[in-house]
Amino acid sequence: MAITRTQRHRPRVEIINMVDVMFFLLSFFMVFSTLRGNPATLDLDLPRAVTATREAAPALEVTIDRAGRYFLDGRPVGLAQMGVLVGDAIRRHPDRLVVVKADRDVKYDLVVQGIDVLRRAGAYRLGLAVELKPAPSAGR
């Protein structure tokens, strides 16, 4: 009597999805490791984040206040002027960090417009400023 046996398939762990998730997490922490929580002289109410890290003073600081006005290192500028000034600074020092500080009440569209101008000017090392909020306690 011939008994036929079916071959068992060994279980496999598919790691491709895990690699995608790890790459996303690595990218996320690399981009947001430049966050800084030191408020400027302008009256801003910055968003809060637990994962923020402190950075040394940035080379360039773009601020967007509640009224939607743009400031470059504390001086009021228009979007076009900001692009020219940042472009000149980036051409002199291509690895300069640019930190964008936007009040929490600023429309998202204004932040995106500012970042778009900065990227067109050649600034690719960008960070978003936040206030450091204490991490929740482990007992709660």
Burial, 61: exposed, middle or buried (Cβ in 10 Å; 0-12, 13-18, 19+)?
buried
Q: How far apart are the first and last CA of the chain?
A: 66
pTM of the model: 0.56
Our measurement of the distance from residue 55's CA atom to the centroid of its chain's CA atoms, rounded to an integer in Å, reads 13
Cα dist from 95 to 22, 37, 71, 98, 127, whole Å = 26, 21, 21, 9, 13
User: Could you tell me the domains of the chain?
Assistant: 37-132 (3.30.420.270)
Task: Render pLDDT for 76-117 as a digit per residue (tens, 0 to 9).
Answer: 999 999 999 999 998 988 888 888 988 888 898 999 999 999
Task: Render pLDDT for 6-65 as a digit per residue (tens, 0 to 9).
Answer: 777 777 777 778 888 888 888 877 777 655 444 344 455 556 556 555 555 457 889 998
